[in-house]
Amino acid sequence: MNLKRPFSIFAVLICVVSGVVYGQQQKAYLLGPGDVLEIRVFGQHDLNSNAQVDSDGNLSSLPFLDPIPAKCRTERQVQKDIAAAYSRLIKDPQVSVRIIERNSRQPASVSGAVRQAGKISMDRRIRLNELLAAVGGFTDKAAGTIQILHTEAVLCPGPGEEAEALPVAGTAVPLQVVKIADLQKGSANPFIRPGDLVLVTEAEPVYITGSVVSPGSIMLRDGLTLSRALGMVGGTRKEAKLSQIVIYRQKAAGAQDIVKVDFEAIKKNQQPDVFLQPYDVIEVSDTGFFGGRDWLAALAGMFLRSAVGIPIP
């Protein structure tokens, strides 16, 4: 018995059904300023033309006709109006209307921690996950948040959609921030508007040195704690002095804060974990003589003692 054939037929049916459902979910394209239509009147070659929707949302260049409203209407609706208008001049006109250029929706731009930054056509409504799939998804430098800046008003707002991208008073930036974790869970997946600027923020580094399995840098992502950071470098070594971990925290103008952490107390839930900040340098010393920077201080002391003639015990 060939089991592959029934499975293949089932797969094809799934694709067909999915395609039908997808097609039903897509709304008809609504015209806007800049779109170009090819208009043909059967048997009336002098009436054939290519017409662009003007800034007022009308087709104002059709031969012998007053402006025909086109903004936020489908090509079928415009076709009926053109046929009705020409019916006053010729008997039973047969009119066809076809969109040949879609210029009314600016592309959305994607940049930051994505595999192929660029511009994505906005001929139809798409969600954030579709947009990111079109640019190949995230890179390993993604920090955990996506910033969406709206630059244009919604051309043809539907129920529940905002009519304007920018606030009337102009006092706030129309910026939306989405967490990658929420997008992956499906709890946040907004529609993208034409002209949107989408930035997948890049993570900044945190450095871990000293008595850990794999010293080096890691990318700071949303809510990264000291415990997680140490786990990402393989954990601490046996000789690590966990009660005296030091974090050198960068400040403005090259200054530093020194944050001393008792990681033993954190492991025992006696103290809260520490959230890391960009460019933190985490130093894990060890209990041996050459652990951390203790050996340097000791060596300096020995040198000074010998220089002034003090016997070294």
- 54-63 pLDDT per residue, tens: 999 999 999 9
Strands 191-192 and 126-127: antiparallel
**CATH code for 204-295?**
3.10.560.10
Residue with the bigger pLDDT between 10 and 27: it is 27
pLDDT of residue 88: 93
- Are the CB atoms for 282 and 228 separated by under 8 Å? no
pLDDT of residue 166: 60
From residue 108, give the alpha-carbon distance in Å to each of 26, 162, 306.
19, 18, 70
Residue 135, CB half-sphere, CA atoms under 13 Å: how many? 23
| Distance from C-alpha of 177 to C-alpha of 148, rounded to nearest angstrom | 6
- Mean pLDDT lowest among 19-28, 161-170, 204-213, 265-274: 19-28
Residue 172 has pLDDT above 80, yes or no: no
At a CB cut-off of 8 Å and minimum separation 6, what does 198 contact?
A: 108, 109, 110, 111, 128, 131, 146, 147, 148, 149, 192
Looking at residue 304, the DSSP 8-state letter turns out to be H
Segment 187-204, tens digit of pLDDT: 999 999 999 999 999 999
Residue 298 has pLDDT above 50, yes or no: no
At a CB cut-off of 8 Å and minimum separation 6, what does 35 contact?
A: 52, 53, 70, 99, 101, 102, 103, 104
- Are the CB atoms for 143 and 222 separated by under 8 Å? yes
Q: Where do the structural domains in the chain lie, given as residue ranges? A: 36-101, 108-155+163-202, 204-295
At a CB cut-off of 8 Å and minimum separation 6, what does 60 contact?
A: 54, 67, 68
| Distance from C-alpha of 47 to C-alpha of 36, rounded to nearest angstrom | 16
Segment 47-89, tens digit of pLDDT: 999 999 999 999 999 999 999 999 999 999 999 999 999 999 9
| Distance from C-alpha of 155 to C-alpha of 286, rounded to nearest angstrom | 63
Phi, then psi, of 265 in degrees rounded to 5: -65, -35
**CATH code for 36-101?**
3.30.1950.10
CATH 3.10.560.10 matches 108-155+163-202: yes
pLDDT of residue 12: 35
What is the widest separation between alpha-carbon atoms in the chain? 120
Domains 36-101 and 108-155+163-202 are alike in CATH topology: no
pLDDT of residue 288: 59
At a CB cut-off of 8 Å and minimum separation 6, what does 84 contact?
A: none
